[in-house]
Amino acid sequence: MVRVATVNQIIPFSCVDGPGSRLVIFLQGCNFNCKNCHNPHTIDMCDSCGDCVATCPVGALSLSLSEVTEAVITKPRVLWDSDKCTQCDTCLSTCPKQSSPKTRQYSVPQMLELIRSQVHFINGITVSGGEATLQLPFIIELFQAIKASPDLKHLSCMIDSNGYLSESGWEQVMPYLDGAMIDLKSWQQHTHHYITGRDNHRVFISLKLLAAEGKLYEIRLLYIPRVSDFDNEINAVAGYLSQLPASVRVKLNAFQHHGVTGEARQWGTCSEQQMQQLAAQLSQRGVRNLVLPNVYL
Amino acid sequence: MTLQHRITQITRDPNLSPKQKSNFLALEAEASLPYMALSDAVTEAKESGIICDMFEGNAPFKPRYVLPDYAKFLQNGSEYLELSPVQDLDEALNALTIIYHHVPSVTNIPVYLGQLDDILLPFCQGLDPETIYRKLKLFWIMLDRTLPDAFMHVNIGPTDNIVCRTILRVDAELKQIAPNLTFMYDPQITPDELLQIAASNICECSKPHIANYPLHANSFDEKGFGIVSCYNSLPLAGGANTLVRINLKEVALKASSVDDFFNQVLPHYCQLTYELIEARAKFLHEESNFFNSFLVKEGLIEESRFAPMFGIYGMAEAVNILLGTPSNHYGHNAAANELGHKISKALDAIVKSTPVKYGYHGLALLHSQGGMNVDKDVTPGVRIPYGTEPNPIVHIQALAEHHQYYTSGISDILTIDETVKANPLAMMQLCKGALSLGFREFSANVASNDLIRVTGYMIKLSDIASFKQAGSRTNTTWLGAEAAVNTKILERQPRVIAHEQSPTHAK
């Protein structure tokens, strides 16, 4: 069977997803359910209920017919015609699961072809999401193929992840992985659970493992004033971050409302001043390699 | 308005310096002369905005762009300027400062200051880096303050040398609009580390722009070339006697079909363009006495190395009109892009097969013209219209095919999201990608920089903001201020990443 990934979006040139310019593959589906998610339509997989089809103003969505092949009956699927689509996002607001029907299936050879068409412009590729590692077998096959191709092997292969992947999962991808960017959503278990719906034990295990392998490129802290607890736990957080290898970038992100739905919309955004204050507290406590946002929207 | 009234206005303008007033008065005087004799068809095409003489004046007494052989000048000195051959860096910088004031151009300020690293390097032997830095920094400040025009242009590269590196350092530090700067890149010669410095400079101050050295060098003979003003590649020790441009949008509007455009209308207006070119070149070469100047007598320029530039603009609109498609089609659609390439190819064939009396090897040079402050609803050169740009890679891929045809220069300006500032490696890779696909020049503005590129020259947004109240000591600011209103330059879309990825990246 051909391995395919469900892709939400591909950005051919990004400056913020790892070193240099990168082709970024955003995979659909996430195992966290963060209240503050900026892309909630990437969390759930489309179950082809078809509700969105009727509301699409330009007829870019349709339902395929059931297929009956050798004893297998497939149920209808929502099909998306990207040429007709005007990106009005009516479908996203119609969907009862807040899921996007605007996804596309890519096989590894198709993805390699796409990467080849951009190869002169990029330093590497990053798989992101959603939560990329939910489609780990695809990632492994893709990275393996890149490293085995003379014309592509110079590209660095990075994963941008919530860190929830199991140790054995990381070990499988490790031989082909150049680096990972991991989000640490908050320090305390209960805060982490409140924000994401999951605890953060496995995130710390992932961070430790990647750091030990020299493959932790960046740890990302999203600062949501009065919600995430990095400021209240500043000593513990700073102590932890300064133990990480010196090469690890510590990227501070400022919570904003763009794309956010639900109760997190009521949370205050992070101002430049609040961000500077957190950064100052961390650097006073010996945290180096801090990277701050250059835009506050 | 009568001539006298216009002159009165200029002399009393509260925002112009005396020198700026003198320039405008001279333009009015020249404009009061009758135009060279032209056929009715050319006059009509000119008056209806299909062909344009770039306001070079009714009696062209100086070439549009002049590229003196400054190496020869430093080596020989100048009898006319009473200067001996140069011995050291101080004398070299002093001699250049002098000669720049004697190099004319359409703006009355030299548009070419030389391949400065090559010509200064021989005089830097034995000097320590800090001394070179101090001298070049003063020189840079002098240029900006005494020759206030961002069409004034320095070339450096492709070799790695101390002068090249020092100029990049000084330029990023001072962030001046002048001089404009081209860095020549040759993948065989230029180390990545040096290209990275240039790319980081772009993130800092939108300069330099980066030229595909092998591609340019192959277009000219062994005597070399220079890049001047805004992206004009021209023979060294020569230049452009005139630039006449043709508005492809207006040409397309006259065509009844795509075939009619290629077979009848385009060739017809190209022919009229040539008539205007010939008339203007004839006056300059035969009546103005320009070629009796010391620059010719001392061998710093040669009359045979001057060529007319055959400029085009409005490609995007022409393609959309011919295809009858929505206005944002060009740059996004394969059929539209291919029709554009076909038009460039047809223009190339015309320019390479139409002899001119005063040309480079008897020919004009095709040029993708970067627009003027008066252009409304028409896009410069072959660019993708402002505000409709796709992501930088699609952008580059859509336009790369054009670049082979435009010997005397073509440019697009990529506007890059400011996130690139934290990641200059990405800028370098984008540049390398563009050049490897056949781009002649790579230019980028980084969103949020005060210093930005308009058509080809640089302006400061803060200058535009204060211009209306206070005027400007810099001649090009008013062009930028007008262009900001007329041509929507400030609406260029910064593109790199989708908005949801910026500034935070949370799931």
What DSSP assignment string belongs to B63-107?
-SEEE--HHHHHHH-BTTTTBPPP-SHHHHHHHHHHHHTT---TT
| DSSP state for residue A155 in the 8-state scheme | S
Task: Give the model's pLDDT for residue B180.
Answer: 92
Cite the beta strand spans of B189-280 per DSSP E: 209-212, 225-228, 232-235, 238-247
Whole-number pLDDT of residue B17:
85
Say whether pLDDT at B501 is over 50. no
CA distance readout (Å), A254 to A250, A270, A282: 13, 5, 15
Number of structural domains in chain A: 2
Taking residue B469's Cβ as centre, other Cβ atoms within 10 Å add up to 7
CB-nearest partner of A14 from B434, B497, B499: B497
| DSSP symbols for B314-331 | -HHHHHHHHHT--TT-TT
Spatial neighbors of B256 by CB under 8 A, at least 6 apart, are none
Q: What is the pLDDT of residue B459?
A: 55
Residue A210, both tokens: 């990647």
**Average pLDDT in the A136-151 region?**
97
Give the gap in angstroms from C-alpha A45 to the nearest C-alpha of chain B.
Answer: 15
pLDDT, position B496: 32
Which of the 8 DSSP states describes residue A231? Answer: T
- Domain identity same for A278 and A232: yes
Shared-domain flag, residues A90 and A173: no
> What does each C-alpha distance from B417 to A290, B249, B330 come to in angstroms?
21, 30, 22
Structure confidence by residue, pLDDT tens digits, B228-250: 987 899 999 999 999 999 999 99
Of B94, B479, B455, nearest to B245 by C-alpha is B455
Strands (E), A4-85: 4-14, 22-27, 61-63, 67-69, 72-74, 78-80
Q: Determine the average pLDDT of the residues in B283-289.
A: 96
Rounded CA gap, B399 and B395, in Å? 7
User: What pLDDT was estimated at residue B481?
Assistant: 58
Of A118-132, B129-143, B339-353, B485-499, the one with minimum mean pLDDT is B485-499
Structure tokens that stand for B400 in this block:
């790369």
**Range(s) of the domain holding residue A91:** 47-101
Residue B286 gets which letter from DSSP? Answer: I
Verify that A23 and A128 share a domain, yes or no: yes
DSSP assignment of B471-485 equals: --SSTTHHHHHHHHH
Is the per-residue pLDDT at B457 higher than 70? no
Whether residue A297 is contained in a domain is answered as no
For B484, what's the count of Cα atoms within 13 Å in the CB-facing half-sphere?
Answer: 19
Does pLDDT of B339 surpass 90?
yes
pLDDT at B494: 42
Tell me the nearest-neighbour CA distance from A108 into chain B, angstroms.
22
**Of A101, A134, A168, which marks where a domain is finished?**
A101
B421: which chain A residues are within 8 Å (Cβ-Cβ)? 294
Closest Cα to residue B416, out of B435, B397, B444?
A: B444
Q: Which residue of B has its CA nearest to A130?
A: B507
Q: For residue A296, is it within any domain? A: no
* Cα–Cα distance, A27 to B166 (Å, whole number): 45
Q: Are residues A162 and A255 in the same domain?
A: yes
How many CA atoms does the CB half-sphere of A113 hold within 13 Å?
A: 5
Cα(B207)–Cα(B460) distance, rounded to whole angstroms? 12
pLDDT greater than 50 at residue B506: no
What is the predicted pLDDT for the residue at B507?
29
How close is the nearest chain B Cα to the Cα of A18, in Å? Answer: 9
Interface test with B, best of A11, A21, A98, A125 (most B CBs within 10 A): A21
Are A81 and A91 within one domain? yes
Q: How far apart are CA A124 and CA A118, in angstroms?
A: 10
Max intra-chain CA distance, chain B: 72
Joined together, the tokens standing for residue B336 give 């539209």
Give me the pLDDT at residue A69, please.
66
DSSP three-state, residue B285:
helix
Across the interface, of A14, A19, A253, the residue whose CB is closest to B504 is A253
State the Cα–Cα distance between residues A115 and A12, nearest whole angstrom. 9
Is B423–A9 a contact, with Cβ atoms under 8 angstroms apart? no
Q: Is B377 helix (H, G, I), strand (E, B) or coil?
A: coil
Residue A140 lies in a domain: yes
Closest CA to B364 of B376, B350, B378: B350
The two tokens of residue B249 are 């949008």
Report CA-CA distances (Å) from B463 to B342, B460, B470: 40, 5, 9
Instruction: Determine the average pLDDT of the residues in B481-496.
Output: 49
3-state secondary structure B327-357: CCCCCCCHHHHHHHHHHHHHHHHHHHHCEEE
pLDDT at B148 over 70: yes
By CA distance, what is A43's nearest residue in B? B507
Task: Note the pTM of the prediction, 2 decimals.
Answer: 0.84
Average pLDDT, chain B: 88
Of A68, A101, A134, the residue that ends a domain is A101
Cβ–Cβ < 8 Å for B335, B376? no
Segment A40-51 mean pLDDT: 87
Average pLDDT of the segment spanning A239-265: 90
A141, A3 Cβ separation under 8 angstroms: yes
- In this predicted structure, which of A267-271, B320-324, B472-476 has the lowest mean pLDDT? B472-476
Chain A residues close to B437, C-beta within 8 Å: 120
Residues A84, A212 within the same domain: no
CA distance B396 to chain A (A): 10
Q: Which residue has the higher pLDDT, B332 or B495?
A: B332
**Nearest CB to B500; choose among A122, A258, A294:** A258
Please report, for the domain that includes residue A271, its CATH number. 3.20.20.70
The predicted model gives B175-194 an average pLDDT of: 95
Distance from C-alpha of B108 to C-alpha of B307, rounded to nearest angstrom: 19
Bridge partner list, B65: B240
- On the question of pLDDT at B497 being above 50, the answer is no
| In a shared domain, residues A276 and A238 | yes
**What is the pLDDT of chain A when averaged over all its residues?**
91
Are residue A81 and residue A203 in the same domain, yes or no? no
CATH code, domain with A76: 3.30.70.20
Q: What percent of chain B stands above pLDDT 90? A: 69
User: Is the predicted pLDDT of residue A295 greater than 50, yes or no?
Assistant: yes
Triad A116, A118, A121: Cα angle to 5°: 130
Residue A124 sits in the same domain as residue A37? yes
Chain B residue closest in CA terms to A40: B507
Q: How many CA atoms lie within 13 A of B462 on its CB side?
A: 7
CB–CB of A15 and B429 under 8 A? no
Q: Which residues contact A88 (CB under 8 A, 6 or more apart)?
A: A57, A58
b or e along B187-201 (b: 16 or more beta carbons within 10 Å of the residue's beta carbon)? Answer: eeebeeebbbbbbbb
Domain range list for chain B:
1-32, 66-228, 240-407+447-486
d(CA B247, CA B379) in angstroms, rounded, equals 10
Rounded CA-CA distance B364/B2 in Å is 37
A186 and A241 housed in the same domain: yes
Q: Which residues pair with B309 in a beta bridge?
A: B243, B365
Contact B70, B94 (CB under 8 A): no
Provide mean pLDDT across the span A162-174.
Answer: 97
Shortest distance, CA A94 to any CA of chain B (angstroms): 20
User: Mind listing the pLDDT tens digit for each residue in A47-80?
Assistant: 888 899 989 999 999 988 766 666 666 778 888 9
Question: Which segment of A243-247, A266-270, B373-377 scores lowest on mean pLDDT?
Answer: B373-377
CB A39 within 8 A of CB A99: no
Phi-psi region of B354 (alpha: psi -120 to 50; beta: other; left: phi over 0): beta
Which domain-ending residue is among A77, A101, A125?
A: A101
Say if residue A77 is in the same domain as residue A211: no
Residue A153 has pLDDT above 90, yes or no: yes
Do A14 and A70 have their domain in common? no
Q: With CB atoms and an 8 Å threshold, state whether A38 touches B500.
A: yes
**Range of weakest confidence among A70-79, A107-116, B181-190:** A70-79
Q: Is residue A217 assigned to a domain?
A: yes
Kindly report, residue by residue over B35-75, the tens digit of the pLDDT: 999 999 999 999 999 999 988 889 999 999 999 999 999 99
Distance CA(B498)–CA(B507), nearest Å, equals 15
Quick: pLDDT tens for B355-414: 999 999 999 999 999 887 778 889 999 999 887 888 889 999 999 999 999 999 998 888
Q: Who wins on pLDDT, B353 or B375?
A: B353
